[in-house]
Amino acid sequence: MKALPPGSTIGILGAGQLGRMLSIAAAQLGFKCHIYSDVPGPASDVAVSTTIGPYEDLDKIAKFAAETDVVTYEFENVPVEAAAAVERVRPVRPGLKALEVAQDRFKEKSFIASLGLPLPAFAAVDSADDFAAAIETVGAPSMLKTRRLGYDGKGQARIGRADELPAAFEAVGRAPATLEAMVPFKFEVSVLLVRGLDGVSLAYDIPQNHHEGGILRTSTVPSILPPEHQKLALQIAGRLADALGYVGVMGVEMFYVGEGPQPLLLNEFAPRVHNSGHWTMDACAVGQFENHIRAVVGWPLGATGRHSDCQMTNLIGDDVAAWPELAAEAGACLHLYGKKQARPGRKMGHVNRLTARSGMGK
Ligand code: AMP
């Protein structure tokens, strides 16, 4: 496909803050964005147009797609049938394969394992019949996670001993799940990779991620990940993206164990721009949102190099009330998502605190 010229329309499935920041980046390059979502969201404040409709209304989705030149998605739980309905009319990037694999934890882990990439021991727990085999494979301590629709620590239950599995299965609502070994990690990192239409990939510097209550709190660059393990992390993410025929930005979360034959273990990947890459908006020449747009419209990718050190802090729930102080803070780049209600656990914005670049990192 030829590169889409400025003035073209990019469709985005989903109306959340990621769609909003994608729309802002697209506008900067002269593109228009058209959102499709089942519920109104903050992306519509900045996109040119929005269609509200259920993801099950395939006719409405096809009509939406016909009004665009290419379509992307900003969350991984878009029903595959909806993306397939778009694909009959316009290209969908990243592709359907990434969507299908990422939205089912067991499929995702099986796919990663089939590529020979390192990940914690795992087993399917679709019903009580699977308890014994899962414990045999994974043991305890471990974590039960629903196969679908889990995010920010939701749909998860930790088990300390094997006999706690039945209670954990009740706790996740007896939904089909995956049991995975608890990883005694030193810290968590993620690779933000962007793969162009020509199959060439670039990556950002690797942030170190700190979670609180299952929700990302901060991402910091540079991380203290040793250089040889940074290289390994990039190789792992690159192989995954190549295997998926991926186009766009992908966030690949990993646990850093440090010792032994597998210093890094893959946790999960997001087939979209990722919260742990929000620092790239201010600390890099071309941030993740612009690079995702560049990839989906078939443009050359922008430079991913980092000019500053940065800590990104999510503003969750009432944190956003501190906006007057944050706005007055030197070196703090404030991003607010325009959400009306600051419910607990809700991501309301983020702040990127820039400092002069130290020697480490890329
Ligand atoms: P997830 O939704 O899979 O990203 O999990 C949310 C957070 O829970 C992760 O970022 C980790 O902090 C923690 N976590 C998830 N899986 C594991 C695991 N297998 N071992 C240890 N901690 C985990």
Pocket of ligand 1 contains residue 183 by CB under 6 Å: yes
Residue with CA closest to ligand 1 atom 7: 214
Q: What is the pLDDT of residue 360?
A: 58
Tell me the pTM: 0.95
Ligand 1 atom with minimal separation from the 180 CA: 19
Helix, coil or strand: residue 78: coil
Q: What is the pLDDT of residue 1?
A: 58
Summarised one tens digit per residue, pLDDT across range 178-221 is 999 999 999 999 999 999 999 999 999 999 999 998 899 999 99
Ligand 1 atom with minimal separation from the 105 CA: 3
Ligand 1 atom with minimal separation from the 183 CA: 20
Report phi then psi at 34, rounded to 5.
-120, 120
Ligand 1 atom with minimal separation from the 181 CA: 19
Tell how strand 215-221 and strand 264-270 pair up: unpaired
Which runs of E-coded beta strand occur in 177-275? Answer: 177-181, 187-195, 201-203, 208-212, 215-221, 248-256, 264-270
CA of 86 to the centre of ligand 1 (A): 33
Pocket of ligand 1 contains residue 76 by CB under 6 Å: no
- My answer on whether omega of the bond before 42 falls inside 30° of 0, hence cis, is no
Query: Which amino acid type is present at position 245?
Result: G
Residue 273 pairs with which residues in a beta bridge? none
Q: What is the pLDDT of residue 64?
A: 98
Q: Among all chains, which residue has been given the structure tokens 């920010």? A: 152
Pocket of ligand 1 contains residue 180 by CB under 6 Å: yes
Ligand 1 atom with minimal separation from the 209 CA: 10
Pocket of ligand 1 contains residue 141 by CB under 6 Å: no
Q: Among all chains, which residue has been given the structure tokens 């990556």? A: 203
Residue 216 pairs with which residues in a beta bridge? 211
Pocket of ligand 1 contains residue 188 by CB under 6 Å: yes
- Using the CB atoms, write b or e for 216-225: b if 16+ within 10 Å: bebbbbbbeb
Nearest Cα residue to 220 out of 334, 313, 329 = 313
Is 167's pLDDT higher than 80?
Answer: yes
Pocket of ligand 1 contains residue 108 by CB under 6 Å: no
Q: What is the pLDDT of residue 260?
A: 87
Is 362's pLDDT higher than 60?
Answer: no
Q: What is the pLDDT of residue 70?
A: 98
CA of 136 to the centre of ligand 1 (A): 21
Query: Which amino acid type is present at position 66?
Result: A
| E strand or H helix at 99 | helix 96-102
Pocket of ligand 1 contains residue 267 by CB under 6 Å: yes
Summarised one tens digit per residue, pLDDT across range 256-293 is 999 889 999 999 999 999 999 999 999 999 999 999 99
CA of 250 to the centre of ligand 1 (A): 18
Residue with CA closest to ligand 1 atom 19: 182
**Residue 83 neighbours by CB under 8 Å, 6+ apart:** 13, 73, 92, 96, 99
Give the burial class of 260: count Cβ atoms within 10 A of its Cβ; 0-12 exposed, 13-18 middle, 19 or more buried.
Answer: exposed
Helix, coil or strand: residue 284: strand
In the chain, the domains with their CATH numbers are 9-92 (3.40.50.20), 121-181 (3.30.1490.20), 187-356 (3.30.470.20)
CA of 152 to the centre of ligand 1 (A): 9
Pocket of ligand 1 contains residue 153 by CB under 6 Å: yes
Pocket of ligand 1 contains residue 143 by CB under 6 Å: yes
pLDDT band of 230, cuts 50, 70, 90? very high
Pocket of ligand 1 contains residue 268 by CB under 6 Å: yes
Is 111's pLDDT higher than 60?
Answer: yes
**Residue 312 neighbours by CB under 8 Å, 6+ apart:** 207, 218, 219, 220, 276, 278, 279, 350, 351, 352, 353
**Average of per-residue pLDDT across 113-142:** 96
Mean per-residue pLDDT over the chain, rounded = 95
pLDDT band of 151, cuts 50, 70, 90? low
Which runs of E-coded beta strand occur in 138-241? Answer: 142-146, 156-159, 177-181, 187-195, 201-203, 208-212, 215-221
Residue with CA closest to ligand 1 atom 11: 214
How are strands ordered across the β-sheet holding 177-181? 122-125, 177-181, 142-146, 156-159
Q: What is the pLDDT of residue 361?
A: 53
Pocket of ligand 1 contains residue 121 by CB under 6 Å: no
CA of 185 to the centre of ligand 1 (A): 10
**Average of per-residue pLDDT across 66-82:** 96
Q: What is the pLDDT of residue 326?
A: 98
Give the burial class of 161: count Cβ atoms within 10 A of its Cβ; 0-12 exposed, 13-18 middle, 19 or more buried.
Answer: exposed
**Average of per-residue pLDDT across 333-342:** 96
CA of 359 to the centre of ligand 1 (A): 30
Pocket of ligand 1 contains residue 182 by CB under 6 Å: yes
Q: What is the pLDDT of residue 26?
A: 98
Summarised one tens digit per residue, pLDDT across range 15-46 is 999 999 999 999 999 999 999 999 999 999 99
Pocket of ligand 1 contains residue 213 by CB under 6 Å: no
